[in-house]
Amino acid sequence: MVITKEQFKAANVQAAATLARGPVARAARFDARRGLIVVELEGGCEFAFPVALAEGLAGAPRSKVSKITLSPNGLALHWPLLDADLYVPGLIEGAFGSRRWMQQIGKLGGQRRSAAKAKASRENGKRGGRPRDQAAA
């Protein structure tokens, strides 16, 4: 596949816009005592997440989780001994890549109560309740 000069320029423009939006990692470390990956962002903010929630890191030995490198632009974390990569903006948005994490997010949403949700539930009830799953039928 050949990349044209126009495609190359467009990719550089898009990359510059992504970097300008941030967030960009300045450093990352494994806090073995708490089982957390701690990411320091440009501007001095930090955030942390449990190793067990991240795709490619869950269940990995501490010795391999502790070896973290940053991509040159600071948008990704890389674990060379695990061949795992995580996108920093995605991490901050809560996209850890694992099915377990996404199930937890869905469970929290299911517990949320609102007037709109109650109204939708009543409307579904008037129509006979929640539609049956096609696979189960």
Q: What is the pLDDT of residues 45-77, one digit of tens each?
A: 999 999 988 888 989 999 999 999 999 889 899
Could you tell me the pTM of the whole model? 0.59
Domains in the chain, please, with CATH? 21-98 (3.30.2020.40)
DSSP at 53: G
Query: Structure tokens of 107?
Result: 């469970």
For 6-24, what is each residue's pLDDT tens digit? 998 988 888 777 777 768 8
For 12, 14, 79, 116, 121, the CA distances from 126, given in Å and listed in that order, are: 54, 49, 52, 16, 9
